[in-house]
Structure 1
Amino acid sequence: MCGIVGWVDYERELGRERATLTAMTRTMSLRGPDDEGIWLDGHAALGHRRLAVIDVVGGVQPMSRGPATIVYSGETYNYRELRRDLEARGYRFSTASDTEVVLNAYLEWGAGLVERMNGMFAFAIWDQRSQELLLARDRMGIKPLYYAPTPAGVLFGSEPKAILANPAFTARIDEEGLCEVLSFCKTPGHAVFRGMYELIPGHTITVSRQGLADRRYWALTAREHTDDVPATVAHVRELLDDIVERQLISDVPLCTLLSGGLDSSALTALADRALGETDVRSFAVDFVDETGGFVPDAMRDTPDGPFVHDVAKHVGSNHSDVVLANDQLASPEASHTVLQARDLPGMGDMDSSLYLLFAEIRRQSTVALSGESADEVFGGYRWFHDPEAIAKPDFPWAGPFRGGGLDLLDQSLRDRISAYQRQRYQEAIEEVPHLPNGNGSVTPHERRMREVCYLHLTRMVQMLLDRKDRMSMAVGLEVRVPFCDHRLVEYVFNTPWSFKTFDGREKSLLRGAVADVLPQSVVERRKAPYPATQNPGYERMIRERLADVAADSSSPAHPYLDHAAIADTLAKPLGGVSLQQDRMSLERALALNDWLAAYHPTANGAA
């Protein structure tokens, strides 16, 4: 997996900047706990922190072959096929790592190597011949990569903190950045801090003396779907079998994340079949006193526990439950670690519980398979099936979440966030690729659902992948997301919405493809989101923290808060706040305050 950093400056000798590059590199120490490497040469400097997964001994970075040097984060799942192709072309290899394959692929195909790669990756290659830097990111944006242009080059890193560690960059936030960080969308390319950007998924950037040149090498396109429903279901299964088998490649212990939902259960069952005689290892999260005292709410009908255990028994997995307590979820230590991992305000116990789960898993495994993104690919969220949410000219998920998260912010700020979000929504809609409506064959509903699926695959999925990456890499755990394989995403995106709901339920294509490997209880289970604790002890702790923030006029978030609304919320009886709305608002306000206090971004018109 790893963390990468770098610096190109065509007017400075970077060989003298080892101390600065080392400081940048060490911000990535959690992403790469196994090794550190520094490479400096003239106008280029590259740093790498390694989490060793494939070829533990040989895959040391930065890695050089001939005129090219690479720092690489991620996994290339088809590296064995690429290696065979390159060997047939005369290349020789001294390691068994996928990094060396990517580097030699660059020497053979240049920037065009990315079109040949299947995987999750972010990498930088310095070419001494042309004195150019290539930055690349995978198609779905599974692995992050940030950059900041400078007058004479560029700074880059896997996370914003790497760039912030260079004295040449100052953390500033303007009106747009504040709205971006508080809205419920993730704008491709936006990094919140003024002057910093995130490389857009499916793009490369070439840095030269002439400046930065962006190239899109992949995007969702509209294609006619010619398979019928049975053939579509069969092809989805074929793809999943191949994807899971590819993503089980590892030289270190591997496991699955199991929630008892359709997505994670399918991956656990398919992984178990692919491993043959070896039992798959699985982990699930739960909360103290949760399963026995669970109360259905607007988001969740059932607790995960019984379904998790049904799957574990059905497939015979080596299973462990990770049970979290309130003091863990609300602890200052967990909040601090989550903030440092994100570099931005987080999502309360949705973040801290994921971080704590990953930390426990990391004691026994280095790689995990996750069902993340299946809802975006197959249409699993409840608002996909809510005519009112679909009809609104807004991000469909904004309705369920906007009230829960922004209610405690100043009204004028909330209005500016809403206007910003409407603008970003309209930009996204204008990108959507549509099929020509020959003979009226594309109904208005099918057209709208294509838009809704596109919004999820290019905006919402980025929020979730970012959260997954930050929380997992904070403990040095590599989490793979099979449902983000671009072949599966492209194929399912172009299936009609009527196919995605052919059995009258959500995620029909996925259910049809994997029903034979799952217990009936999971096949019939209704979609449930990632769990949040219902224990009132957690609510009490965050209430107390926000009361302190609101009472302190020097608190960084004080000017951005609606203090009357905070007083009303805190006056409600314990347990009387809505899990979906009020509590999320408490968490968001606290997260904003913690972020402003820790990062001290200079405000440029953001007040």
Structure 2
Amino acid sequence: MCGIAGWVDFTRDLRQEVAAVKAMTDTMALRGPDAGDVWITEHAALGHRRLSIIDLEGGRQPMVAEENGQVLASLTYSGEVYNFQELREELVGLGHRFRTRSDTEVVLRAYLQWGADFVERLNGMYAFAIWDARSEELLLVRDRVGIKPLYYQQLPGGGVLFGSEPKAILANRLASRTVDADGLREILAGTKAPGVGAIRDMPELTPGYVLKVGRGGSTLSRYWKLEAHEHEDDLPTTISTVRELLEDIVTRQIVSDVPLCTMLSGGLDSSTLTALAAIAKRQDGSGKVRSFAVDFAGYLDNFEPDLTHPTPDSPYVHEVVEHVGADHNHIVLGNDDMIEASVRRAVVRAMDWPVLIAGPGSMDISLYLLFRAIRGQSTVALTGESADELFGGYPWFHHPEYGRPGTLPWTLAHNLGLPALFGPLSAHLDVPSYQADQYRQAVSGMPNLPGESGRDKQFRECTYFFLTRFMRTLLDRKDRLSMALGLEVRVPFCDHRLQEYVFNAPREFKTFDGQWKSLLRAAVKDLLPESILHRPKTGYPISNDTAYDTYVQEQFGKLLAAGDAPVLPLLNPTVVEDVRRDQTAAGKLTRIEVDMALHINEWLSAYDLALDF
């Protein structure tokens, strides 16, 4: 896992832009703390920052393939290809010779052998750029489900700037620095539209797509999408196939030349991965699986169940640890950790743009602190993202009435978090219409089976919406916050083979025992205690220390008192004046509103962004 950056420009000699390319690359230093380098030719420049995971000595980048002293292609690559060993064997059989043990060289050689279509052979999480010196063409590629990020900005004359994160592009003098009405709608709507970004003319590359850039212009093409087809297996076969896939996925994803762990909450998803990893590590003789969990000081003593947190994590975590024999680490966060100014700034810089879905602020900060603790002992972590989205683990799958017709399921709850502080801006930008438009776009791209209707169609729609929209925000959060600390997070439930198979399993298979996520539970029932198998869905723990709310309200009051905060034009002027007169009025705002205002302000200031709406 690494950070990449680059610049292709047919109107400039980029050999004169070494300092600029290095500046772009250096913004990715936290993603790749182990090494960094650039490769530059007349019209193409590739930069790379490396986090060493596999072949610690041989996987240096950018990696160049040559023949008879002539450069064929150069690669800068972030991620992991989990089937690289099979691909390597096939390429050796076709006459290729390898200098390293890395998956990086396999990706480069696979391109030389099969051309751009080689991406269809990859199993993994990745974002990379290949400069083909023979055709003078750049290839930008992102993995199928959007685990690894990749942003770009096209330039006049057919060129492009690109980077793992927007900050890499913003380091270039040619970068756009404006947040316009569309960018603000995307921030406020919570719909995670594919292929867009918050900064004007700086979209993310849509997952499953390839962007080719050459002298004749650019072309965007799709190499993968979820498709609907008849599921031919019966229930017992489906259950056993899910188990076989999970075993294969986890076995592939624990391959690492550096310490690896799991993130464990005591829920079904993370417990499944921890149990499977424990078995795989025993089988390969590499010892116990290491696990990490997070908690807040006093959380269990002061715990009060609610709709999203019916049970605390720690009792279930300890039960799983005992059951599978994990080497466990329980990270307890205090309020002083959560309000540390340097940590809050680091989180905003890591995220690169404000994220509202599933809650900003305290969740982001606690995740960052958890990742920081993990990085002290491990460099790779497995986490359970995508299991709820894939197997039906949210209430909207089973109670469509919880949503609002004509919008993506979670947007009704999302909108309730921003009533006062951002309400006028939302109305001015007509965010509800934007949300409705995003729903229509999602529906238009959704694969259907002929004749499918009623609850079956609704369940498939919900699965598609969560996999292609909601989940990508969760993946972005995990990637940014972990990579800012040099920690690689792997997501086994995002394996495209599992997603293709489970997406097409009938709804009745996923609820056959009258519970949510029946299919996953049945596939791993022999691995986990009954209490874990039947634990109610519980969200990520959130600090219940009121001192956190007091702190952010005080910071919000200071921001308003300064009078020149860049976020001020976005806020409800009536609320701003109320808080300026009486700071206790900030207590009437939701935590998400106050956190979001502080986050947007730091973001606009840190990157010197202009507003145009």
Give your verdict on TM over 0.5: yes
8 A Cα contact 2:425 2:571, kept in partner:
no
Do structure 1's residue 595 and structure 2's residue 603 form an aligned pair? yes
Aligned residue runs from structure 1 range 240-389, under 5 A: 240-276=246-282, 277=285, 278-346=287-355, 347-389=360-402
Do structure 1's residue 458 and structure 2's residue 468 form an aligned pair? yes
Q: Deviations over 1:304-349 (max 9, x none)?
A: 1111111011101000011111121122211111111111124101
Corresponding residue of 2:458: 448
Q: Deviations over 1:557-583 (max 9, x none)?
A: 222222545759975797xx7xxx922
Aligned residue runs from structure 1 range 142-221, under 5 A: 142-152=147-157, 153-221=159-227
Give the Cα–Cα distance (whole angstroms) in 2 for the partners of residues 250 and 161 of structure 1.
29
Residue 173 of structure 1 and its aligned partner are, at CA, apart by 1.2
TM-score (norm 1): 0.96
Corresponding residue of 2:60: 60
Give the Cα–Cα distance (whole angstroms) in 2 for the partners of residues 207 and 559 of structure 1.
38
Give the Cα–Cα distance (whole angstroms) in 2 for the partners of residues 310 and 405 of structure 1.
38
8 A Cα contact 1:405 1:587, kept in partner:
no
Give the Cα–Cα distance (whole angstroms) in 1 for the partners of residues 460 and 550 of structure 2.
42
What amino acid sits opposite 1:339 in the alignment? V
Q: Where does the alignment leave 5 or more consecutive residues of structure 2 unmatched?
A: 67-71
Residue 537 of structure 1 and its aligned partner are, at CA, apart by 1.2
Relative to structure 1, the CA distance from residue 414 to residue 311 in structure 2 (aligned partners, 3 Å threshold; closer, same or farther) is: farther
Corresponding residue of 1:558: 568
SS of the residue corresponding to residue 516 of structure 1 reads coil
Do structure 1's residue 15 and structure 2's residue 15 form an aligned pair? yes
8 A Cα contact 1:406 1:588, kept in partner:
no
Do structure 1's residue 392 and structure 2's residue 405 form an aligned pair? yes
Relative to structure 1, the CA distance from residue 350 to residue 414 in structure 2 (aligned partners, 3 Å threshold; closer, same or farther) is: farther
8 A Cα contact 2:272 2:527, kept in partner:
yes
Give the Cα–Cα distance (whole angstroms) in 1 for the partners of residues 269 and 390 of structure 2.
11
Give the Cα–Cα distance (whole angstroms) in 2 for the partners of residues 420 and 14 of structure 1.
40
Residue 476 of structure 1 and its aligned partner are, at CA, apart by 0.3
Aligned residue runs from structure 1 range 417-456, under 5 A: 417-437=431-451, 442-456=452-466
Residue 515 of structure 1 and its aligned partner are, at CA, apart by 1.6
Identity %: 52
Corresponding residue of 2:50: 50
Give the Cα–Cα distance (whole angstroms) in 1 for the partners of residues 586 and 479 of structure 2.
36
SS of the residue corresponding to residue 293 of structure 2 reads strand
Aligned residue runs from structure 1 range 60-99, under 5 A: 60-66=60-66, 67-99=72-104
Q: Deviations over 1:50-100 (max 9, x none)?
A: 000000000000111120110000000000000000000000101000000
Residue 519 of structure 1 and its aligned partner are, at CA, apart by 1.4
Give the Cα–Cα distance (whole angstroms) in 2 for the partners of residues 228 and 570 of structure 1.
62
SS of the residue corresponding to residue 86 of structure 1 reads helix
What amino acid sits opposite 1:533 in the alignment? S
Corresponding residue of 1:124: 129
Give the Cα–Cα distance (whole angstroms) in 2 for the partners of residues 398 and 570 of structure 1.
30
Give the Cα–Cα distance (whole angstroms) in 2 for the partners of residues 315 and 112 of structure 1.
42
SS of the residue corresponding to residue 244 of structure 1 reads helix
8 A Cα contact 1:204 1:216, kept in partner:
yes
8 A Cα contact 1:5 1:25, kept in partner:
yes
Do structure 1's residue 230 and structure 2's residue 256 form an aligned pair? no
Give the Cα–Cα distance (whole angstroms) in 2 for the partners of residues 492 and 444 of structure 1.
19
Q: Deviations over 1:512-566 (max 9, x none)?
A: 1112111111111011111111111111111111222334432222222225457
SS of the residue corresponding to residue 364 of structure 2 reads helix
Q: Where does the alignment leave 5 or more consecutive residues of structure 1 unmatched?
A: none
Residue 408 of structure 1 and its aligned partner are, at CA, apart by 1.7
Q: Which piece of structure 1 moves more, 510-519 or 377-386?
A: 377-386
Q: Deviations over 1:72-130 (max 9, x none)?
A: 00000000000000000000101000000000000000101110000000011111100
SS of the residue corresponding to residue 286 of structure 1 reads strand
What amino acid sits opposite 1:65 in the alignment? A
Give the Cα–Cα distance (whole angstroms) in 2 for the partners of residues 165 and 257 of structure 1.
33
8 A Cα contact 1:383 1:389, kept in partner:
yes
Give the Cα–Cα distance (whole angstroms) in 2 for the partners of residues 488 and 88 of structure 1.
29
SS of the residue corresponding to residue 416 of structure 2 reads helix
Residue 252 of structure 1 and its aligned partner are, at CA, apart by 0.4
Give the Cα–Cα distance (whole angstroms) in 1 for the partners of residues 80 and 296 of structure 2.
32
8 A Cα contact 1:121 1:143, kept in partner:
yes
Give the Cα–Cα distance (whole angstroms) in 2 for the partners of residues 95 and 394 of structure 1.
50
What amino acid sits opposite 2:48 in the alignment? H
Give the Cα–Cα distance (whole angstroms) in 2 for the partners of residues 359 and 391 of structure 1.
38
Residue 390 of structure 1 and its aligned partner are, at CA, apart by 4.8
What amino acid sits opposite 1:360 in the alignment? A
Give the Cα–Cα distance (whole angstroms) in 2 for the partners of residues 433 and 528 of structure 1.
30
Residue 600 of structure 1 and its aligned partner are, at CA, apart by 2.9
What amino acid sits opposite 1:542 in the alignment? V
Relative to structure 1, the CA distance from residue 131 to residue 531 in structure 2 (aligned partners, 3 Å threshold; closer, same or farther) is: same
What amino acid sits opposite 2:525 in the alignment? A
Give the Cα–Cα distance (whole angstroms) in 2 for the partners of residues 5 and 385 of structure 1.
43
Relative to structure 1, the CA distance from residue 305 to residue 414 in structure 2 (aligned partners, 3 Å threshold; closer, same or farther) is: farther
Corresponding residue of 1:540: 550
Residue 170 of structure 1 and its aligned partner are, at CA, apart by 2.9
SS of the residue corresponding to residue 603 of structure 1 reads strand
Residue 499 of structure 1 and its aligned partner are, at CA, apart by 1.5
What amino acid sits opposite 2:417 in the alignment? G
Give the Cα–Cα distance (whole angstroms) in 2 for the partners of residues 312 and 573 of structure 1.
42
Give the Cα–Cα distance (whole angstroms) in 1 for the partners of residues 583 and 527 of structure 2.
48
Count of residue pairs the alignment pairs up = 596
What amino acid sits opposite 1:507 in the alignment? K
8 A Cα contact 1:330 1:349, kept in partner:
no
Corresponding residue of 1:135: 140
Give the Cα–Cα distance (whole angstroms) in 1 for the partners of residues 208 and 232 of structure 2.
26
Q: Deviations over 1:21-45 (max 9, x none)?
A: 0000000000000001110111111
Residue 394 of structure 1 and its aligned partner are, at CA, apart by 1.0
Q: CA RMSD in A?
A: 1.6
Relative to structure 1, the CA distance from residue 174 to residue 331 in structure 2 (aligned partners, 3 Å threshold; closer, same or farther) is: same
What amino acid sits opposite 2:414 in the alignment? F
Give the Cα–Cα distance (whole angstroms) in 2 for the partners of residues 345 and 265 of structure 1.
30
Q: Which piece of structure 1 moves more, 554-563 or 162-171?
A: 554-563
Relative to structure 1, the CA distance from residue 565 to residue 499 in structure 2 (aligned partners, 3 Å threshold; closer, same or farther) is: farther
